[in-house]
A and B are shown apart, each in its own frame.
Chain A
Amino acid sequence: MTGPSKTGPAMTGTSSPGDGIDRVGLTLLYKRVRNICDEMAFAMMRTAYSPIFSEGLDFSTLVLDRRGRLIATAGINPAMLGASLYAATWIIREVGPENFAEGDIFVHNDPYRGGSHLPEHMMVAPVYSDGELAAFVGNIAHLAEIGGMAPGSFAATATDIFQEGLRIPPTKLFDRGEPVQDIWRIMLANHRTPNNSWGDLHAMVGSLRVGERRVGGLIAERGVDGLNEAFEQILDYAEAYMRSEIAALPDGIYTGEDCMEDDGISDRSYWIRSRIIVEGDELIFDYSKSDEQAVGPINAPYVVTLSASLNGLLYVLARDVPVNAGIVRPVKVVAPAGTITCVRLPGPCVGGQTEFQPRIMELVLGQILSQILPERAAAASGNTSLNFLFGGVDPRNGEYYAHYHFEGMGWGGRADSDGNSAQIVPHANCRNTPVEIFETKWPWVHEEYSLNDDTGGAGRHRGGLGVRRVMEVEGDVITVSALSERMKRSPWGLFGGHDGSRTALEVAPAGSDAYETFQDAFGLISPSKFTNIRLRRGDRVRITSPSGGGYGDPLERDPAKVLADVELGFVSRVSAESVYGVVLAGAPDDGLAVDEAATEALRRSMRDGVA
């Protein structure tokens, strides 16, 4: 994909060559700040305890100006964009800039103060130069276990935020370089796996110290004011970049809607209704017509809705723009409090980040912006993080463990290519945990981890396949919970492409091959959202992740591609004929071939049938 052709960016009055801005110097400075974020990220990855940090890379690192505005972030997890923009600012405002001191570190995880959801902890440290506050460094990371009503802290049946885990307003974790022991003790006493939390929190601290040193180097070169002036220009630059991209879109009002299928508490769906208003070089997301907030934890705090909207935009509009506080200036997000798009205290919201955010993001890019930029859009991905949580005592060493597991799925078909199979939900960029690490750490034995054949949404470009994971309980008891989506409504196809397949969470009791859904087996309200189901040794769990939707009419798919799909087993021979209208001749062992005449005839009759 290439960027849109442009005759010149609208630099909002600062673009003339004689404006005194050193553009090359600006590029160089921005790259250096990005490099600092990358260094911070490496330090964190290599010292973290939880696989969701170290294997999953579920974190972000940030450099902020002295007012707490985001200047740069490492390219790790886009889902944290909203919190990156607002959480640090909130800490600074609430604490007061005059109350920081050199060596301090503040921690904060409150979605009612600019955070995304409780598991994501933000840390911020001020950087000083001769006693003058010069900048901040920060990071955000998902801690695997922070207490609350279910191991793994993803309580799908929570009805208020107090059930979701330990909530921390901006709080001093280090005071002038020294740990504030009382705070550490309270935090660790409320987490189920305090050792992991301790290690992960230290990884975050180590990463901040790297950032402090490197930003200190920048200050030494440029001075506090010089650096902050340059930061201002970096923000202006990102703003100009966004404006120039938005200006290229046709003015108008574009709408779309999608829903969360249930909230874990009752069997009703919650609708997100979005209007995108493009006017000149500005753009408004309006979610006012969305449903009221849910009882269960699928609500989004404002920053999640903002994050999702921006991410949807960045995917199709400006994927190379420097991601910082400047990109928000030409964009407004209207999300009234009390709706599912802006939860009101004490509503629960842990699933907003992982389930609601991708839903909005794909609504924006796939259903709405595809109306004006079809060549850059995609059909729906599986579009759930498929959170599966478990905890218990490991019989091998008697220690308590807990894990937050997510699953890859199929991406939607795209204008030029099929959707990728087994890919993390697009609003995140985490990695899976290898089976060999999984089983070394936790008492499960896998029977299968494979692609789910013949499920990709049919289309000119096919949706990618989801995965199937089958594993058996090796401990005496494992307590499991889930928070997922796409069990009642399929990932949608685009431009005539078919829908993808749905999520499934199933269980078979020890010694039996009779799988049934968790919902049937345990009499649950929701098939996709439940907490604290106790499984016993020998019980097996089958997790099936959804496949992506197709893009374009399957009858327009190149028959050679259908043949290749059949040969590789991605599509069955039956579907090749019944869905794609491609007739294959020959036996699998001797080599299949497309029967062109029969294919043409079949496709013609299928089209007529539709007409």
Chain B
Amino acid sequence: MSGSPNGAWRIGVDTGGTFTDLVAVGPGGEVRLQKVASTPAEPARATFEALKRSQVDPRGEVDSFIMGTTIATNALIQRRGAPTVLITTAGFEDVLYIQRIDRQGLYDLQWIKAEPYVPRDRVVGVNERILADGSVRTPLARQELDRVIDEVRRITAHDQSPAVAVSLLFSYVNPIHEQELAAALQEALGGLPVSISSEVAPIWREYERSNTTAMDAYVKPIVANFAGDLLRELELLQMGGWHGLLRSNGGHVAIPDTPAKPVEIVLSGLAAGMIAGAHFARAVDSAKAVTLDMGGTSADVGVIVDGELQFSGLFEVEFGLPLALPILDVTTIGAGGGSIASIDSGGLLKVGPESAGAEPGPACYGLGGEAPTVTDANVVMGRLNPGYFLGGRMNLDAERARSAIDPVADRLGLTPEDTAEAIVSVSIENMDGAMRLVTVDRGLDYREFDLVAYGGAGPLHATEIARRMGMNRVIVPPNPGLVSAYGTVIADQRVDRRITLVRRLDHGESGDLPAALGRLADETVAELRSQLRRPEVPVDVTTYVACRYLGQNYEQEIRTEFGHVDRSFELAVPIGPEAADFVARLADGYHATHKASYGYEMRDQPIQSVYLGATALSETPEVLIRPYAGGGDGTARATRRVLAAAGQWTDALIVKRDTLATGETLDGPAVIEEADSTTWVPPGFRATVHESQCLIIARSDAEARP
């Protein structure tokens, strides 16, 4: 399918730290791209500036306007959230300070533990207690409710836009006390936003759940304001269509619904890139792929299996500050174009994690940076064209790049050129290590995977990484630097919910599992239905049960098949004899999964469920984007001396990407340049232009694959 449904515009915006990118796909597949400087103080401003420049008429036919935003991320990172009160079970008020008692660096005696989002004098303990089996040991008395309300009133008396988080022990088993507290607070202090842990993250491990709930409350007022600003502006523009924000789970949510559970948009910005990565993997029929979004300071790595992005239950904003929600499984490492090279005490070369960032940036930016970076190394190697950075909008200073590298070269006893090659190699090895962990930790063999590379710096390094790791093909989407904005255009609507339910599958106690799963699926679908952009569209729901052998502490998710849904949505909830069979099949599925991941199964060991999950999904129609006019006449080609490997200067073909035609091939060494990125094709590799306009890079001697 090409273009937009109904011939209307689909507008996607990605607001990053440095740039705000807009992609608008119009009738017939027309694509408009905009890259403008971000306005961190008022994130909405750059968005509407980009929209204005794109010249899409907001009052015209607009199908959707969807944003990926870092507003919640930044509030957490920069600690600009709301003054928050935390209510805990009495005796456990220090949960956010105690954390998990480990540290980040093994030999880092100077390490400072992460500061909680809620300071200690804003924590209120409430006398109540629920036990592991859900029974009430200490009831929550009325006068206790009143006392807590008075405390909250006193603490927030002088606050501007405060928020409250409630996280009580074992609320994931029995939420009654949290619900009573929320209702009482609402009644007494109406308008005060309240987040309760049994709704935000009903999972065990009190620290992870409490911290996630505290984060939710902490970003709530800011996200609510932001959503309000957007809606007002959109109304002024009289923009039609569906208006959504991207969630950390890769789905999007209607802007007015965002403040209900704002912690869900913490990874909004990262999710956009991964969705697009998965889209382009599907476009070239890649079932298994690793996505690599490499920018200036960091690289985000995700995994695609069977064409689907993978999900994780845990993300750390910084070490010790976990966000325990189903989110797109992304690992961020400190490796980017700005990563700084240095020599360690033992005389060996080290690259990153320190970064020159956007300011002062690499030495070659000429903005005052003096430390040698990966970008400088690429300039010295001839792989980056100093005259065509950002399509020529910024000139790189090759001389500065070389002088920055000289001192390192002296220490290594190498030429500056070979030093540059070494810097890039070490940086690639850093990414290699992270990518191995991302796959192996999940029981996946990366040698069966393709690598989808984007972001400004991804395509420059991807083929070397894939070669080193023995991965399959490298896929470079069109406009690699704008891929995240594409992601917002094509994101689905999606709701994920999870509940903890610890049951032994070999006991009668698991009898309520199928019904609980059915209820969860119902609730998840109902939540999505309430937010749908088009009520008539079909909804899919998938369910899963996380299991482990009794005694293990980590679980694996088993997708369950019974929850099939027809397009009019009727969930088949298994009851009666079917339920018993379901549990047995679940056990079989777990044995098989454990064996596939770790090489052995333990048939005579009891299995225990840990949590149940459901995902409701409403798919957005695919859109095929063809940003390049094509050409293929061989014009604008040149050669340049490029360092292909240590000591090996060679003439590389230099091509502008928008001149390539579908099906055209290029043999490395070649450099493919475009305004927002550069792709390096090493000797021995061949790039082919796929009909999706992705570049597919594989070994020249590999069997040609479409």
Contact = CB atoms under 8 A, between A and B. Distances in A.
A99 interface: no
Contacts of B346: 9, 237-238, 240-241, 244, 321-322
A536 interface: no
Nearest to B172: A436
B433 A54 contact: no
Interface in B401-427: 411-414, 422, 425-426
A35 B110 contact: no
Interface in A20-57: 23-24, 26-28, 31-32, 34-35, 38-39, 42-43, 45-51, 53-55, 57
A378 interface: yes
A447 B100 contact: no
Contacts of A437: 204-205, 553
Contact of A57 (B95, B102, B413): B102
B345 interface: yes
Interface in B623-674: 646
Contacts of B132: 436, 439-440
Contacts of B441: 39, 42, 46
Contact of A1 (B110, B204, B207, B602): B110
Contacts of A415: 110
Given A434-B207, A589-B154, A470 B109 contact: no
Interface in A410-455: 414-417, 420-424, 426, 429-432, 434-437, 439-440, 445-451
Interface in B89-113: 91-95, 97-103, 105-113
Nearest to A44: B598
A49 B606 CA distance: 12
B437 A417 contact: no
Nearest to A239: B346
Contacts of A4: 345
A55 B553 contact: yes
Contacts of A420: 103, 111-113
B62 to A, nearest CB: 46
A238 B170 CA distance: 48
B347 interface: yes
Interface string B571-609: 000000000000000000000001000111010010000
A414 B103 CA distance: 16
B92 A436 contact: no
Given A414-B109, A423-B101, A432-B100, A27 B426 contact: yes
Interface string A5-30: 01011010001111000011011100
B349 interface: yes
A101 B554 CA distance: 33
A434 B154 contact: no
B205 A429 contact: no
B496 interface: no
A420 B109 CA distance: 10
B200 to A, nearest CB: 16
B552 A54 contact: yes
Interface in A291-316: 311, 314-316
Interface residues of B, number: 72
A365 interface: yes
B437 A450 contact: no
A408 interface: yes
A318 interface: yes
Contact of A241 (B345, B430, B549, B554): B345
A445 B131 contact: yes
Interface in A322-346: 322
Nearest to A45: B554
A395 interface: no
A423 B105 CA distance: 13
Interface string A51-78: 1011101000000000000000001001
A169 interface: no
A522 B135 CA distance: 34
B376 interface: no
Given A35-B437, A446-B91, A48 B101 contact: no
Interface stretch (A108-116, A181-189, A195-203): A195-203
- Greatest chain B CB density within 10 A among A18, A75, A450 is at A450
Contacts of B413: 16-18
Nearest to A195: B551
Q: Which of B91, B430, B646 has the most CB of A within 10 A?
A: B91
Contacts of B460: none
A65 B606 CA distance: 39
B344 interface: yes
Q: Which 6 A-B pairs have the closest CB atoms?
A: A17-B413, A241-B346, A54-B553, A319-B107, A408-B101, A448-B91
Interface of B: 91-95, 97-103, 105-113, 119-121, 129, 131-132, 137, 154, 169-170, 172, 204-208, 344-350, 411-414, 422, 425-426, 429-430, 432-433, 436-437, 440-441, 502, 549, 551-554, 594, 598-600, 602, 605, 646
7 contacts: A9-B347, A45-B554, A48-B554, A316-B109, A434-B208, A450-B93, A567-B121
Interface of A: 1, 3-4, 6, 8-9, 11, 15-18, 23-24, 26-28, 31-32, 34-35, 38-39, 42-43, 45-51, 53-55, 57, 75, 78, 195-196, 199, 202, 205-206, 209-210, 237-238, 240-241, 244-245, 311, 314-316, 318-322, 365, 376-378, 408, 414-417, 420-424, 426, 429-432, 434-437, 439-440, 445-451, 467, 470, 567-570, 589
Given A430-B102, A437-B205, A567-B121, 4 more contacts: A3-B344, A47-B598, A241-B346, A449-B92
